[in-house]
Every structure is written in C-alpha cells, then in structure tokens.
Amino acid sequence: MAGIVESVSELIVSVFFDENLPKINELLIVQNDQKTELIVDHIDQNGLVYGLNIRNDLTISRGQKVKRSKKFPDIPVGEQIIGRVLGPFGDPLDGLEPISDQVKRDNIIKLPTKNTEFVPKKTEILETGIKVIDFFTPFVKGRKIGIIGGAGVGKTVLTMELINNVAKIDKGLAMFCGMGERIREGHELWETLKDNDLLKNTSMFFAQTNENPIQRSLIGMAAATAAEYFRDELSRDILFFADNMYRYVQAKNELSSILNQVPNEGGYGSTLFSDIKILEDRLSSNDNGSITSVQTIYIPADDITDPAVQLIQNEMDSVIVLSRKVAEQGIRPAVDLNLTTSSLLTPEVVGERHYLLSIEVSSLLKKYQSLKNIVAIIGENELSPKDRSDFQKALKLINNFRHNMNVMTKLTGVKGDYFTREQTLKSIEEILI
Ligand SMILES: Nc1ncnc2c1ncn2[C@@H]1O[C@H](COP(=O)(O)OP(=O)(O)O)[C@@H](O)[C@H]1O
Ligand SMILES: [Mg+2]
C-alpha cells in the first residue's frame, strides 16, 4: 500500500501510511513526475512518517502518493570513483559521464565498525615538507590531525598544501570531502590537483554552502562510506581530508531546527554529539587498512570553548591552532605555536632526538611569551644576557617555521618550500646551539 503526502513544509514532508510503515532512513519515492526521493527521518507517535526532501523538490504537494523503496541512500564505491567528483548520493559534479549502474554501491548511513582494541603494527610518519607540522604535529599514518581556527586564518590553504605535498609522495589514495564551504574552493582544489597530476589518485565529494542542510549533513557520511570501502574491501591506505567538519555540526543543527527539535544545553540538537562521534569512529583505521585524516574545524566567533568544537578536537591526535593574531603579524602559516598540541610527540613515535628538541623548543617559546611583555616595556637591552639570547633564539625559531605554500605560487609568484624532516630538525638544532 502506498502512503499519501499529508503536508509539505520547507524540507520536511509528512506522509501517512495506514499500514506497512517504512524504516528510518529508508528512501521513499513520491509518485510525481520527478519521482522525488525522501529519506525517512522519524515517525511520530501517531505513525505519521517525516521524510527529508533531499533535492528540495518544490513540486511535491498534499495528496500525492508515496511508495516505499526498501532501499537506503547509497553511493557507488570502488575504483570507478577515483578521479571523480561526486555529491552525497554519488551524482557526478565534474560534468563527466554518470557512474555506471553496474558499479557496486554501499549505504551511506551506517554505524562504525570501529575496533577499539586496534593497535597499528608499526608507526609510520608521513613527511609533509612543512616544518611547523612535521615538528609540532607529526603526520602519523592512521591518525587524525585537526586544523582549527576562525574564518580566513588559512585552514583551507594549509589543507591544500598538505594534500599537494603528501599525496604526491604517499602511494595511498587521497579523498577530499568539501563540507559546506565556498563553491569556488572546490574548483580551485580540482585545478590544483589537475596541475599536479594528482587527480588519478583522488576522489572528491562535495556539498558546499549552496546545498541544503540535508545534503550538507550527508556528505561526510558519503565520503566516509567510500573511504571505508577502500579500507575494508580493497585494503587501501587512505588520506582523508575534510573541509570543514564544523559545517556538519551546523547542517545538523539547521535540520533539527527545521524539525522543531528542542535543543539541549549549548544550543545544539540532542543527537549531535553522538552523530559526531559516529562519523569520527567511521574514519578510523583497522587491520585492513588505514584512514589518516586531516579535518579543518571552523571556530564560530573565534570561540575555542564551543562544545561542538571541543568534542571534535578531542577526537584528534594532533591539533594545529591557526590564529588571527599570528596571521596579522604576517606569519604564514598562522600557527599559534603555544596552543598547537600533539599526543604523538613522544620518543616512541618521533624518536629521542626530535622529542628532546620539542621539549626545548616549547620551553623557549613559553619563555618568549613572558619576555615579550617585559621587552615591550623596558626594551630588550635591559634583559640579562641569558634572557636576551633566549629571546633572540625564540624569534629565530618563529621565523624558521614560516613556509611559502606551493599551492599559492600561482597567485603570489613566490616559489613554494619543501623541507625534509631531517632538514627541519637540523634547522632547529642550528638555532638552539
Ligand atoms: N599560507 C598562506 N600564504 C599566503 N596567503 C595565505 C596563506 N594562507 C591563507 N592565505 C590567505 O588568506 C585567505 C584565507 O585563507 P583560507 O585558507 O581560505 O582561510 P580559512 O579556510 O581558514 O577560512 C586566502 O585566500 C589567502 O589569500
Ligand atoms: Mg576555508
């Protein structure tokens, strides 16, 4: 028996079924010319089914018939999506041919198969060529790096540089998930990858700011599904880049306000925190293969204490904090060296030499913070010789962590840098002598 559309409001369509209720997340097909698909969001206590109007179709109207599909939203997975740009349901956004119906598909909404006992057999550090990252937040295979900061501090540019540098060297597969950011940035990334012949090793998923919150909230899951398939079925190592994870939070929030759900404390929807956890757990490594992720996290109103930001941050092994203050001093990347942290800066992971250097550097940078205030008042000449020398060393260190981006060369004309990890450590040792 078919259901009947009862009401349509914005992106929510309620459907009455007098028997044979659909499942949560099942796709329903409205029997109009468009054969519009809805995703079942929830069913209320009267048995009324609430569907999400995923393509924002305005031709749905009261009284139209609705059929169950007994299918769930899915995307094509496997080799055929390499080199392609897809939306949350696998529709091509690159203007190329649709992906064949014969290609295997997999559901995008699912729970993680995370094995919490999993310990990687060996630690493998991927070189990024960016001193400040290789030194403070080592890029370890299978782990997560967060890049956090307010608007315009350089999160996207740094992410692009990482894709450019790491995807070139690592034999893994790079995946990029554009979540609710500017449309233009998707084109720029595509161009950059093309210029560097990296498209053959990359899959991209996009639901940018112009898409409705249903699509924006599903894009991360679609990309995670593709990554899980490569990891589990094809035993591949994946580099997963997401820009911007906070847009997932916003999309979910927009949806819960459209659905009239009562927010809990902090103003967030009640399932938001478990939704974030589920997505993060899906992006993990296991015995089949690894997912190494870089996730940008926008901070609303530059407020680092936002509960959703904190939650995402807690899922990361390393957090690079980009700051407006640093950017204003003309330092790029605008990394706040005192707030940037990594649980991977241990002798076991980075080796004794790097570890000891990191301790020395962080104590010098802390000292610099307090000396800076004194210098501002009484001048550098009044410092003791030891303090003056430490102050100078800290200044040299800060300068040493500047990096000209390869991905900005086209715009700025300045050649990009690349430093091996050995060069990075050596440059720091030379300053500390
Ligand atoms: N490393 C950099 N070198 C030069 N310019 C940069 C760099 N990082 C950011 N910018 C400038 O700042 C702008 C905003 O950076 P973007 O990465 O888009 O910020 P976010 O993603 O944090 O909002 C860029 O368009 C660029 O002009
Ligand atoms: Mg950005």
Per-residue pLDDT reduced to its tens digit, 167-189: 877 677 999 999 999 999 988 88
Pocket lining: 406 vs ligand 1, CB cutoff 6 Å? no
Q: What band does 155 get if pLDDT is binned at 50, 70 and 90?
A: very high
User: Would you place residue 240 in the very low, low, confident or very high pLDDT band (cuts 50, 70, 90)?
Assistant: very high
Q: Does 239 sit in the ligand 1 pocket, CB within 6 Å? A: no
Ligand 1 atom nearest the C-alpha of 403 is 1
Q: How confident is the model at residue 119 (pLDDT cuts 50, 70, 90)?
A: confident
Cβ of 182 closer than 6 Å to ligand 1, yes or no, is no
Q: Which ligand is nearest to the CA of 330?
A: 1
Number of the ligand closest to the Cα of 410: 1
402 annotated active-site: no
Among 38, 46, 57, smallest CA distance to 16 is for 46
Active-site residue, 328 included? no
Q: State how far the alpha carbon of 8 is from the alpha carbons of 5, 49, 51, 61, in Å.
A: 8, 12, 10, 7
403 alpha carbon – ligand 1 mean position (Å): 13
Supply the residue whose CA is at minimum distance from atom 7 of ligand 1: 154
Ligand 2: centre distance to CA 165 (Å): 18
Q: What is the pLDDT of residues 322-352, one digit of tens each?
A: 999 999 999 999 999 999 999 999 999 999 9
Catalytic: which of 181, 185, 254, 315? 181
Provide the pairing of β-strand 291-298 with 144-149.
parallel
- Does the annotation count 114 as an active-site position? no
Specify the CATH number for 75-345; select among 3.40.50.410, 1.10.3430.10, 1.10.8.60, 3.40.50.300. Answer: 3.40.50.300
pLDDT of 411 higher than 70: yes
Helix axes 245-258, 272-282, angle to 10 degrees: 140
Mean pLDDT of all residues belonging to the chain: 93
Write down the pLDDT at residue 172.
78
pLDDT above 80 (res 426)? yes
Provide CATH code, domain 350-432.
1.10.1140.10
pLDDT at 48 over 90: yes
Q: Where in the chain are the domains?
A: 3-71, 75-345, 350-432
Is residue 293 within 8 Å of 241, Cβ to Cβ?
A: yes
Residue of 55, 110, 168, 182 marked active site: 182
3-71 placed in CATH 2.170.190.11:
no
Instruction: Give the closest residue (by CA) to ligand 1 atom 11.
Output: 154
Note the Cα 99 to chain centre separation in Å: 25
